[in-house]
């Protein structure tokens, strides 16, 4: 079962400390993509690992 009513069963909730400048870059990109910052970070990581697996 998920840890709270907002977290999907397949998701893992955790805390992340991030440099403010990097956060701003991700936040701006997330706004353009109409995603939350968390989902934008997830998309960036997925894209990274997808490209790593193709090499």
Question: In angstroms, rounded to a whole number, what is the distance separating the alpha carbons of residues 20 and 28?
Answer: 12
Predicted local distance difference test score (pLDDT) of residue 2: 56
Predicted local distance difference test score (pLDDT) of residue 11: 87
Predicted local distance difference test score (pLDDT) of residue 53: 81
pLDDT tens digit sequence for 8-47: 888 888 899 999 999 999 999 999 999 999 999 999 999 9
Other CB atoms within 10 A of residue 18 CB:
11
Whether the pLDDT of residue 3 is over 80: the answer is no
Predicted local distance difference test score (pLDDT) of residue 29: 98
């Amino acid at each position: 079962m998920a840890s709270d009513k907002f977290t999907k069963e397949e998701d893992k909730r955790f805390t992340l400390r991030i440099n403010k400048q990097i956060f701003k870059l991700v936040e701006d990109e997330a706004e353009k993509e109409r995603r939350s910052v968390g989902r934008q970070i997830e998309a960036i990581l997925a894209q990274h690992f997808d490209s790593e697996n193709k090499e």
